[in-house]
């Protein structure tokens, strides 16, 4: 204590006394000194404050209910019971409202997780009500259960707000994790959506002090014009500046092998290394695209052309397709349909050939019964051997592709 400073005063603490219940009709409720008659709360539980309120506002109670009398004790007990009942009612209503809100969030989460329309919430509610009528028919509290279901808020606008709130919460959790992690790595992948707009997906993998890791989708950057390395870098740099992403924690970046990403001078990685805001980092690129191109370069065009032509001759004509389905059903096959091959999907070739090879005996028999003998390859042993070899090879490449994708 400095010289000349006076002694510090102790803060006086006031406590409620139980005798005030009968003397002044006051009680303690939720840490507040509350009047039993008018439910007014006194900020400081001092005897003077309590007595002043009673004498000023409810002075006539001393005449109607004399002090220390049984009548006064009975009145105090009655008023305490009324106050407890009111508080219990409001607590119960609050609990019901919270439960309805939580249920609304849970249903909204299921709707958005299954990629359904927000408007489906009203259909779910209607289904709840109809199901409750049968499930709880013999329950004594059926009316209460039905009332709770009907109170569930699942309109389109409500589901939209719930999803927005969940998205905002997930975003906050993500950025908290980014702030708490020791370091992180990024992975970028560029693709085109149904509207022909290029989208760059950025994933982040964070490592924490306890050596645990977490992987999340960081953002999706739309590329409305060109997708050169400098365009992707500029879009990413704008995102960093807008969100204040702690780039100093970056340890590695993984991209595909496209020139826009790994180009020596103007690729995305090169642009990042040239920027002083970025620390020294490792860079990797996957070989999924190269592996897919390798699969396309197999010199088995004759096998693929014949198999594709046979499948199309069956699938392209409605009558042929129905007859072939009936033939497979009669033969008790595991499959009910031939697949079609498309070059866009990486795994299509292997799946198409596998199904075709498994159904080869049924295809041969189907053409024999129909009197079609134009596909002589089905009787050629060498062609069937080449088909089996190509099927095994493409299946192996499919397995490699899935492993590269971490599936």
4: left (phi over 0), alpha (psi -120 to 50) or beta: left
Token look-up 């004399």 returns 66
**Residue 131 buriedness (CB in 10 A; 0-12 / 13-18 / 19+):** exposed
Residue 345 DSSP SS3: coil
- How far is Cα 32 from Cα 34, in angstroms, rounded to an integer? 6
Partner residues linked to 220 by β-bridges: 201
pLDDT at 295: 58
**Residue 232 buriedness (CB in 10 A; 0-12 / 13-18 / 19+):** buried
Q: What is the 3-state secondary structure (H, E, C) of 30-54?
A: CCEEEECCCCCEECCCCHHHHHHHH
- How far is Cα 273 from Cα 264, in angstroms, rounded to an integer? 11
- How far is Cα 19 from Cα 26, in angstroms, rounded to an integer? 9
Arch. (CATH architecture) of 184-286: 2-Layer Sandwich (3.30)
pLDDT at 56: 79
Strand order in the sheet with 26-29: 26-29, 32-35, 41-42
Q: Are 284 and 314 in contact (CB under 8 A)?
A: no
Task: Residue 258: name the closest of 221, 236, 296, 290 by CA.
Answer: 290
Tens of pLDDT, residues 219-271? 998 887 788 888 899 999 999 999 999 999 999 998 887 788 888 888 889 99
Segments making up each domain of the chain, as ranges: 20-89, 97-180, 184-286, 294-404
pLDDT at 2: 47
Residues of the chain predicted below pLDDT 70: 1-15, 29-31, 43, 85-95, 287-299, 342-347, 404-407
- How far is Cα 186 from Cα 268, in angstroms, rounded to an integer? 13
């Amino acid at each position: 204590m400095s010289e000349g400073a006076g002694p510090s005063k102790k803060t006086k603490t006031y406590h409620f006394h139980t005798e005030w219940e009968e003397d002044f009709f006051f009680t303690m409720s939720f840490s507040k000194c509350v009047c039993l008659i008018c439910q007014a709360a006194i900020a400081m539980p001092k005897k003077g404050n309590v007595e002043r309120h009673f004498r000023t506002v409810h002075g006539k109670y001393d005449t109607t209910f004399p002090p220390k009398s049984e009548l006064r004790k009975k009145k105090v007990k009655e008023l305490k019971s009324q106050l407890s009942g009111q508080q219990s009612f409001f607590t119960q209503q609050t609990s019901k409202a919270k439960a309805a809100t939580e249920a609304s969030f849970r249903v909204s989460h299921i709707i958005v997780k299954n990629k359904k329309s927000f408007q489906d919430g009203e259909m779910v509610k209607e289904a709840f009500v109809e199901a409750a009528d049968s499930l709880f028919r013999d329950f004594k509290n059926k009316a209460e259960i039905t009332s709770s279901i009907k109170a569930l808020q699942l309109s389109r606008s409500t589901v939209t707000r719930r999803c927005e709130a969940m998205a905002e919460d997930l975003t906050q959790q993500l950025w908290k994790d980014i702030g708490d992690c020791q370091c992180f790595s990024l992975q970028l992948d560029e693709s085109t959506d149904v509207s022909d707009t290029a989208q760059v997906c950025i994933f982040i993998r964070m490592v924490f002090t306890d050596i645990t890791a977490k992987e999340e989708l960081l953002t999706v950057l739309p590329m409305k014009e060109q997708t050169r390395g400098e365009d992707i870098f500029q879009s990413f740099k704008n995102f960093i500046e807008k969100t204040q992403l702690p780039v100093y924690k970056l340890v590695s970046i993984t991209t595909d092998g496209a020139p826009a990403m790994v180009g020596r001078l103007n690729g995305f990685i090169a642009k990042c290394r040239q920027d002083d805001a970025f620390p020294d980092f490792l860079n990797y690129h996957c070989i999924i695209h190269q592996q897919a191109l390798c699969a396309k370069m197999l010199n088995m065009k004759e096998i693929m052309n014949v198999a594709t032509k046979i499948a199309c001759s069956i699938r392209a004509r409605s009558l042929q397709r129905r007859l072939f389905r009936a033939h497979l059903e009669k033969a008790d096959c595991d499959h009910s349909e031939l697949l079609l091959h498309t070059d866009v999907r990486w795994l299509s070739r292997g799946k198409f050939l596998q199904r075709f090879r498994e159904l080869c005996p049924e295809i041969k028999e189907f053409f024999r019964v129909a009197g079609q003998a134009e596909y002589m390859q089905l009787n050629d042993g060498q062609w069937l051997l080449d088909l089996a070899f190509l099927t095994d090879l493409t299946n192996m490449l499919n397995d490699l592709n899935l492993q590269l994708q971490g599936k």
